[in-house]
Amino acid sequence: MKLLMSSSDQHDGEMKRFANCILDVENKNISSAVGDKSEVEISDDLLITTADDHLFHLVDFSYPDLLQAIPDYMYLQSRAIFTPLESVEKVNNFILTIFSGIEKECLSSNTTCQVDKNEDVQQEWFTPKFLNEIKCSELPNHKLTLKPGISIMLLRNMDQTLGLCNETKLIVNELGNNVIGATVVTGRNIDDKVYISRMNLVPSDSGLPFKFQRRQFL
């Protein structure tokens, strides 16, 4: 007897295979050592093989017909681009160019935290320019460039009673000087209209020998 796999079963199977592949990469089960580096062989069906404009093809592959499809919340729930920290800004800036509307730059305020008197690090060593340029996975960047209609994702738990938790996705509706108006598109409070304000954030491990605080939108 021949069993036919439904499209749902096939999708679940593909997702499981992809997840296992990512775990194998993380656990170094499918890598081989080449000198002091590791190489990972990736299946052809997971590769974008076009020779020109790789970023365009990556976004188009992950978000086909983006402008037409984005009002459908299910479209955003099932898609994401995972990228190294150093590439996030490049991908975000490219996606911004797809949307019409006026960009708004949201700048953070950064200060060093009070240190123990016995520590050698002195607050006056760090200029605002130096603090502004710090980027780490736990914090939004000093400069966030946004447009109405784009999708954003929270990096911290903001208000669990409203469903505003880490990795919650939202669609930007309006951009004020001190708040962002947005619609929740994932989680248990889908379609809720919320306002996000700037918050004081201190990374737990920035890899730096001092602590600093960034006041920025999540």
Question: What is the tens place of the pLDDT at every residue in 75-92?
Answer: 887 788 877 777 888 888
Whether 17 and 38 map to the same domain: the answer is: yes
Q: Which pTM value belongs to this model?
A: 0.69
Q: Tell me the pLDDT band of 10, cut-offs 50, 70 and 90.
A: low
Whether 86 and 166 map to the same domain: the answer is: yes
pLDDT exceeds cutoff 60 at 5: no
Q: Taking each helix axis from N to C terminus, what angle separates 85-98 and 54-62, rounded to the nearest 10 degrees?
A: 80
When pLDDT is averaged across residues 2-28 and rounded to a whole number, the result is 63
Whether 167 and 75 map to the same domain: the answer is: yes
User: Is 1 a member of any domain?
Assistant: no
Distance between alpha carbon 212 and the CA centroid of its chain, in Å? 21
User: Is 146 a member of any domain?
Assistant: yes
Q: Based on the structure, what is the number of domains in the chain?
A: 2
pLDDT at 2: 35
pLDDT exceeds cutoff 70 at 106: yes
pLDDT at 181: 92
User: Is 35 a member of any domain?
Assistant: yes
CA distance 9 to 24: 22
Place of tokens 């681009």: 81
pLDDT at 1: 33
Task: Share the mean pLDDT of the chain.
Answer: 78
pLDDT exceeds cutoff 70 at 118: no
Least confident of 38-42, 76-80, 180-184, 186-190: 38-42
Place of tokens 């404009």: 53
Whether 21 and 76 map to the same domain: the answer is: no
Place of tokens 């890598």: 31
Cβ–Cβ under 8 Å, residues 41 and 24: no
User: Is 2 a member of any domain?
Assistant: no
Whether 34 and 126 map to the same domain: the answer is: no
To the nearest whole percent, how much of the chain has pLDDT over 90? 1
pLDDT exceeds cutoff 50 at 137: yes
Nearest to 87 by CA among 40, 141, 22, 148: 141
When pLDDT is averaged across residues 10-16 and rounded to a whole number, the result is 67
* C-beta neighbour count of 146 within 10 angstroms: 20
Whether 19 and 118 map to the same domain: the answer is: no
User: Is 210 a member of any domain?
Assistant: yes
Whether 77 and 133 map to the same domain: the answer is: yes
Whether 25 and 90 map to the same domain: the answer is: no
Cβ–Cβ under 8 Å, residues 184 and 143: no
Whether 190 and 85 map to the same domain: the answer is: yes
User: Is 93 a member of any domain?
Assistant: yes
Provide the residue range defining the domain that includes 195.
49-216
Q: 169-196 burial by CB neighbour count: b if 16+ within 10 A, else e?
A: bbbbeebeeeebbbebbbbeeeeeebeb
Whether 206 and 188 map to the same domain: the answer is: yes
Q: Give the number of C-alpha atoms closer than 13 A to the C-alpha of residue 19, restricted to the C-beta side.
A: 6
Whether 65 and 13 map to the same domain: the answer is: no
Least confident of 48-52, 99-103, 125-129: 48-52
Q: Tell me the pLDDT band of 161, cut-offs 50, 70 and 90.
A: confident
Whether 72 and 152 map to the same domain: the answer is: yes
Least confident of 77-81, 111-115, 149-153, 172-176: 111-115
